[in-house]
Each structure stands twice: as C-alpha cells, then as structure tokens.
C-alpha cells in the first residue's frame, strides 16, 4: 500500500502544495557580500535596476548564489523589479547597508512565506551579524590641505527616485 501525502492550500496565497516544514533562514557573510556586490553595481551604473546576470554571482559565489539571493529577498532587502528578471535594492536594504537600520538575524519560512509567528532572531545592524561587514558609504566628507571641512559629496540633487535611494 502506498502512502499518499495530502496537499493543502497556503493560507496566504492559496497555492496548493505538499505541507512543508518550517525552515530557519539567516543572513551570513556571503549573503551580505552579495548584497554589497549589488550595491556597488548600482552605485557604478547609477541605476537601481539590475539582473542577476549583470551581477555575475555564479563565478564569485558558486552554486548557492541563487538560493542565497532568494533568502536576501525574504529579508526585504531586495525586491523584484517591474520588468521581468530585474531586481532592485529596497529603501530598507539601502538603510541596512548604510548601518542605519536593523534586520532580524534569522527568520522562519514555511510554504514559501515568512512566518513571524514561528519566531525570529534579534534585530542587528550589518556589522553585528555573523560574518558581518562594515556599512557602505554613499556620501563622503572632503577636507582641504589645512584639514578644514570643504563639503560633502555628492551634493547634487538626484534626478529620479531610484537614484535618491542610493
């Protein structure tokens, strides 16, 4: 006699699937490095829209790069863009990268959705997470030869919302 596994509908999206065990997902040094890699691409190009192919994650981060990308998305640091296969770093992601916002150190995911009722880790800054990295800078203060402040760059008003997020 074969055992059958009953399918059920997800309470959030209605998708029918086999019940899945909850998984604990965390942010580690590799995922943080991937996020910073994306931020450097955005700063270089001036556009907060990019594809995973433009990031070239596979060569540097190996086979786990794409599943790690999904984990970063679940933390709300990146989101899918309006066009197919494009991504962007969210305002929450930029604030986290600058060290201005905390994220939960781990979350619980079941049936493809984050389940806060199953628990989550303490909120930490980017440099407090395991394998954490230093926050990125998006503005720089300049000094003259006598060590007097000259100003902060960039100072130009960014033209679009996506550039203001950087």
The domain that holds 68 is classified in CATH as 1.10.10
Distance of CA 113 to the CA centre of its chain: 16
Answer yes or no: is 162 within a domain: no
Cβ atoms of 69 and 34 closer than 8 Å? yes
Answer yes or no: is 99 within a domain: yes
Number of domains forming the structure of the chain = 1
Answer yes or no: is 147 within a domain: no
3-state SS class at 88: strand
Answer yes or no: is 131 within a domain: yes
Answer yes or no: is 146 within a domain: no
3-state SS class at 75: coil
List the domain range (segments joined by +) for residue 31.
21-138
Position 52 scores a pLDDT of 79
Rounded to two decimals, the pTM is 0.70
Answer yes or no: is 7 within a domain: no
Answer yes or no: is 120 within a domain: yes
Beta strands in 5-129 (DSSP E): 8-9, 16-17, 23-26, 78-80, 87-89, 103-104, 106-110, 113-114, 123-124
129-139 exposure pattern, b = at least 16 Cβ within 10 A, e = fewer = beebeebbeee
Tokens of 165: 């997020």
Taking only the tens of pLDDT, the chain with its 166 residues reads 444 445 666 666 666 656 667 888 888 888 888 898 899 888 888 888 888 788 877 667 666 677 788 889 999 999 988 887 889 999 999 999 988 899 998 888 887 788 888 878 889 888 887 666 777 776 656 667 777 766 665 544 444 444 455 5
Quick one: residue 107, left, alpha or beta (phi over 0 = left, psi -120 to 50 = alpha)?
Answer: beta
């Amino acid at each position: 006699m074969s055992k059958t596994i009953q399918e059920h509908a997800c309470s959030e999206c209605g998708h029918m699937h086999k019940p899945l065990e909850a998984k604990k997902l965390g942010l580690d040094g590799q995922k943080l490095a991937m996020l910073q890699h994306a931020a450097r691409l955005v700063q270089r190009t001036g556009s907060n829209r990019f594809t995973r192919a433009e990031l070239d994650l596979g060569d540097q981060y190996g086979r786990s790069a794409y599943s790690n990308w999904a984990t970063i998305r679940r933390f709300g640091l990146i989101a899918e863009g309006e066009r197919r296969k494009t991504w962007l770093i969210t305002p929450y992601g930029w604030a986290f990268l600058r060290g201005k916002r905390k994220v939960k150190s781990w979350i619980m995911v079941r049936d493809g959705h984050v389940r806060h009722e199953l628990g989550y880790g303490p909120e930490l800054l980017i440099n407090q997470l395991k394998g954490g990295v230093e926050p990125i800078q998006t503005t720089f203060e300049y000094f003259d030869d006598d060590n007097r402040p000259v100003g902060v760059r960039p100072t130009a008003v960014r033209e679009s919302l996506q550039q203001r997020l950087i």
